[in-house]
Amino acid sequence: GKDGYRHYMEKELHEHPLVIGQTLQRMVDPASRRVMLPEMPFDLASVPRAVITACGSAFYAGMIGRYWLEDIARLPVDIDVASEMRYRNPPLTAGSLGLLISQSGETADTLAALRSLREKAVHILSVLNVEHSTMARESDVVLGTVAGPEISVASTKAFTAQLTVLACLTIATARARGTLDALGEEELVSALLDLPSRAAEVFTQGEAVRRMAQVVAEARDVLYLGRGSMFPVAMEGALKLKEITYIHAEAYAAGEMKHGPISLIDRTVPIVASAPYTPLFDKTLSNLQEAKARGGRLLVFTDTKGAERVSAIAEDMVVLPHVHDFVAPILQTIPVQMLAYEVAVLKGTDVDQPRNLAKSVTVE
Ligand code: F6R
């Protein structure tokens, strides 16, 4: 049941801290505080490149995984949505890594992309929530997201669980490739282990999220902005909003705004920015100043350090605890999903069963 929550989506949003913790328990050895992945039939150290593919929210999780694998493990990564990847025929060296991400393990396009990668003698590693799915049977290795069943059509907790797995995979790959020493691993693992309690604190911001929801619910179009690993967080926010509130939303890499969408900005198009205090904060801040100068209304998801700098221009803020840059996209995902949920409640849409959508898309 819904355990007293109004919708499954609300219940599942509140499970973020739990599923992040459960997923970490599966992947981090408590005694040594090191990432321990299951035995793999290939060596992460000798993989020449990774190809990441998935659909929808799982694809955005993959985009964040790409930033991590490139930056921390120094692994070349290609990424595309599965509906494109399955027809792309990219040239790949045998022994490359195919990294598939899916909650259901049954998504037709992701499964077809898996099969087309397998034909190229690529190792198949899948990040799956349903561990007895078709994709699980056809993978060389499955890394489970321990999110439990997800009932709401809009994915929530599976997404942060996917990110948790991808973060652990990044650490293991970086260690194997010699780009992360023991001290570095300790720092990243600590940041991950700290996440469940930080994630629980996000819910103290419910009032601020509901205030923002009042503004967004009145809009016809909403622009989401983010840079680096916050760009996919913005994409996730925009997708959730479209999916369950039927309000048009678009996510843009913050620096790309001045190449077109800045002409849309006025009082009627709220701007939702994901801008915690990471090394890219100042860059995002200057993009937000540009938007403000054109009459944009800024609704900013930030952290305690970012809030000091952005409060002067923000119409409203959701202020999360400041965490390590590495895990900031995981934490910042929670309030953007909450915002979509609260807007849907205000609009009175069918939150758990949005029109035209099914939980698992098993046709092309
Ligand atoms: C968004 C959403 C969809 C799924 C996508 C992939 O809230 O639920 O975009 O993320 O259909 O589904 P899976 O992960 O089952 O392959």
Neighbour count for residue 225 (Cβ, 10 Å):
30
**C-beta 57 within 6 A of ligand 1:** yes
**Tokens found for residue 141:** 């290795």
Residue 129, ligand 1, Cβ within 6 A? no
Predicted local distance difference test score (pLDDT) of residue 4: 95
**pLDDT value of residue 363:** 85
| pLDDT of the residue at 1 | 85
Cα of 224 from ligand 1 centre, angstroms: 19
Is the Cβ atom of 154 under 6 angstroms away from ligand 1? yes
Q: What are the backbone dihedrals phi and psi of residue 196, each rounded to the nearest 5 degrees, phi first? A: -55, -40
- Cα(161) to ligand 1 centroid in Å equals 13
Give the span between the Cα atoms of 141 and 73, in whole angstroms.
19
132 burial via Cβ count (<10 Å: 0-12, 13-18, 19+): exposed
The pLDDT value given to residue 73:
98
Chain-centre distance for alpha carbon 76: 20
In this prediction, residue 121 carries a pLDDT of 86
Tens of pLDDT along 333-356? 999 999 999 999 999 999 999 998
Q: What pLDDT is stored for residue 361 in this prediction?
A: 87
> How high is the pLDDT of residue 54?
98
Q: Which of the listed residues 12, 107, 145, 162 should we mutate to test ligand 1's pocket, taking the one with most ligand atoms within 8 A of CB?
A: 107
Sites in the chain below the pLDDT cut of 70: none
Q: Is 110 in the pocket of ligand 1 (CB under 6 A)?
A: yes
Of ligand 1's atoms, which has the minimum distance to the CA of residue 104? 15
Annotated catalytic sites, by residue? 359
Task: Give residue 359's pLDDT.
Answer: 87
* C-alpha span between 180 and 174 (Å, rounded): 5
pLDDT of residue 187: 98
